[in-house]
């Protein structure tokens, strides 16, 4: 008999700080989804992060790469600890993972969910429903540059931003396909009036690809203007494609508007099948609140849902999103002791709502959960 069981092999990197807490909550929700939606997962725990590095000196080893490569996807908690100098884990692990596995797109929805407090007075969920397509392997993140006369008054630091046609084209094409599915505008966000070389490459790529997507209106905004419009008029945007560093910065602003870093999710997508994609909340390890149960796991739980959507479990992904959003709407605060639930309790709350099969209102507006399987 041919087996029809759907088994997904997941590598799980809990990492440091609040990473393990938000991953534990996500795994509770994942287990509930498995029991409701008829698929199963094989989870491999990977030891990596600050403690592992301090004990072994290991970061992104060939053995680890081979192990991760044998999985269908990676769930990632967070990395970083005051005991490790800034940059070691970020550049030595996270960026290496994105680069080695060619996770070309970092997909980050900026969606204000109903009932979530936003610092922007009068903002409503209908007006804030966009997605950032962040280039994820190039730009200033390539780590190229040099310093001469370091530590002297004559020091010269050069930090390069590398943009390849191939790297730009693949994210622009992805963004067009996403905009086509959402029936929305594609906006290029850059600083082409100043960064003329890179900006021209980005704009000409958008212009050329636009011919293949005649139904998608195209727009352009400078990144500084984007930072003005995002809080004041987010309804101007639907799909926004942008450079790696701009995308890093504007998605923290987006997280603030959508209710905090604890709510914001992301997918680091490999587009050519050459390696696994990776799913992580956009927050860091937050060592200051680690171990207290104050972290909001919803960003990690929504990232887990994006992982399931990517693996073809769209129904489970949509149900997780709806359950998480239902619980989120009841919280008096989106993080910290004021949430009224600990991180673990929130995971259990969302898991048991999912498992109860109780009807929960569908999430209004666009959902990337509908797009991820189709955009592989
Ligand atoms: C993010 C983070 C990372 C980045 C760091 C931790 C390397 O800020 O995912 O947004 O700069 O991309
Ligand atoms: Mg960031």
Please say if the pLDDT value at position 4 is more than 80: no
Any atom of ligand 1 within 6 Å of the Cβ of 135: no
Of 1-15, 29-43, 104-118, the one with minimum mean pLDDT is 1-15
Q: Residue holding tokens 């943009």?
A: 163
307 in Cβ contact with 41 (< 8 Å): no
pLDDT of residue 364: 95
pLDDT score, position 1: 53
Ligand nearest to the CA of 266: 1
Residue 257 · residue 127 · CB < 8 Å: no
pLDDT tens for each residue of 183-225: 999 999 999 999 999 999 999 999 999 999 999 999 999 999 9
pLDDT digit string, tens, across residues 37-68: 999 999 999 999 999 999 999 999 999 999 99
Strands 218-222 and 39-46: unpaired
Q: Is the CB of 129 under 6 A from ligand 1?
A: no
Residue nearest to atom 7 of ligand 1 (CA): 90
- Contact 90 CB / ligand 1 (< 6 Å): yes
pLDDT attached to residue 182: 97
Please give the Cα distance from 250 to 260 (Å, whole number): 13
pLDDT surpassing 60 at residue 180 = yes
Partner residues linked to 239 by β-bridges: 131, 186
Predicted confidence (pLDDT) per residue in 134-159, tens digit: 999 999 999 999 999 999 999 999 99
pLDDT, tens only, 73-100: 999 999 999 999 999 999 999 999 999 9
Burial class (CB within 10 angstroms; exposed 0-12, middle 13-18, buried 19+) of 231: middle
* The predicted structure's pLDDT at residue 5: 84
Q: Do β-strands 129-135 and 105-111 pair in parallel, antiparallel, or remain unpaired?
A: antiparallel
Q: How confident is the model at residue 107 (pLDDT cuts 50, 70, 90)?
A: very high
Mean pLDDT of 299-322: 98
| 145 close to 159: Cβ distance less than 8 angstroms | yes
Confirm or reject: Cβ of 269 under 6 Å from ligand 1: no
- Please state, in angstroms and rounded to a whole number, the distance separating the CA atoms of residues 256 and 231: 9
To the nearest whole number, what is the mean pLDDT of the chain? Answer: 97
pLDDT score for 2: 60
Burial-class residue 226 by CB neighbours within 10 Å (0-12, 13-18, 19+).
Answer: buried
Assign 3-class secondary structure to the chain. CCCCCEEEEEEEEEECCCHHHHHHHHHHHHHHHHHHHCEEEEEEEECCCHHHHHHHCCCCCHHHHHHHHCCCEEEEEECCCCCCCCCHHHHHHHHHHHHHCCCCEEEEEEECCCCCCCCCCCCCHHHCEEEEEEECCCEHHHCCEEEECCCCCCCEEEECCECCHHHHHHHHHHHHHHHHHHCCCEEEEECCCCCHHHHHHHHHHHHHHHCCCCCCCEEEEEHHHHHHHHHHCHHHCCEEEECHHHHHHHHHHHHHHCCCCCCCEEEEECCCCCCCEEEEECCCCCCCCCCCCCCCCHHHHHHHHHHHHHCCCHHHHHHHHHHHHHHHCCCCCCCCHHHCCCHHHHHHHHHHHHHHCCCCCCCCCCCHHHCCCCCC
The number of the ligand 1 atom at minimal distance from the alpha carbon of 244 is 12
Mean pLDDT for 273-301 is 97
pTM of the model: 0.97
> Which residue's CA is the closest to the ligand 1 atom numbered 6?
90
- Ligand 1 contacts CB of residue 301 (under 6 A): no
Rounded to whole angstroms, the Cα distance separating 28 from 8 reads: 16
CB of 248 closer than 6 A to ligand 1?
A: yes
* pLDDT over threshold 80, residue 331: yes
pLDDT digits (tens, 9 = 90+) for 212-222: 999 999 999 99
């Amino acid at each position: 008999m041919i087996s029809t069981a759907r088994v997904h092999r997941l590598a799980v990197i809990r990492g440091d700080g609040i990473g393990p807490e938000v991953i534990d909550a996500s795994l509770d929700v994942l287990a509930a989804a498995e029991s409701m939606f008829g698929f199963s997962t094989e989870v491999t725990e990977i030891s990596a992060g600050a403690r592992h590095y301090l004990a072994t000196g290991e970061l992104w080893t060939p053995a680890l790469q081979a192990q991760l490569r044998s999985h269908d996807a990676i769930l990632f908690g967070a990395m970083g600890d005051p005991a490790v100098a800034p940059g070691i884990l970020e550049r030595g692990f996270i960026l290496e993972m994105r680069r080695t596995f060619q996770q070309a797109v970092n997909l980050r929805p900026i969606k204000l969910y109903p009932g979530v407090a936003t610092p922007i007075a009068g903002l409503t969920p209908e007006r804030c429903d966009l997605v950032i397509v962040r280039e994820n392997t190039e730009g200033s993140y390539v780590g190229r540059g040099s310093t001469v006369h370091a530590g002297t008054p004559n020091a010269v630091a050069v930090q390069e931003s590398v943009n390849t046609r191939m790297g730009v084209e693949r994210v622009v094409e992805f963004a067009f396909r996403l905009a086509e599915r959402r029936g929305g505008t594609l906006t290029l966000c850059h600083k082409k009036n100043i960064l003329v070389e890179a900006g021209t490459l980005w704009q000409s790529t958008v212009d050329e690809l636009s011919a293949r997507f005649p139904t998608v209106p195209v727009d352009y905004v400078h990144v500084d203007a984007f930072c003005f419009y995002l809080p004041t008029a987010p309804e101007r945007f639907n799909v926004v494609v942008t450079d790696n560093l701009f995308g890093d910065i504007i998605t923290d602003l987006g997280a603030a508007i959508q209710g905090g870093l604890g709510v914001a999710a992301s997918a680091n997508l490999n587009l050519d099948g050459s390696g696994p994609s990776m799913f992580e909340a956009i927050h860091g390890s937050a060592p200051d609140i680690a171990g207290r149960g104050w972290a909001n796991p919803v960003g990690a739980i929504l990232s887990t849902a994006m992982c399931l959507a990517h693996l073809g479990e769209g129904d489970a992904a949509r149900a997780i999103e709806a359950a998480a959003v239902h619980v989120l709407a009841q919280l008096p605060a989106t993080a910290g002791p004021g949430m009224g639930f600990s991180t673990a309790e929130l995971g259990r709350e969302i898991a048991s709502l999912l498992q109860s099969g109780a009807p929960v209102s569908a999430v209004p507006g666009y959902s990337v959960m509908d797009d991820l399987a189709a955009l592989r």
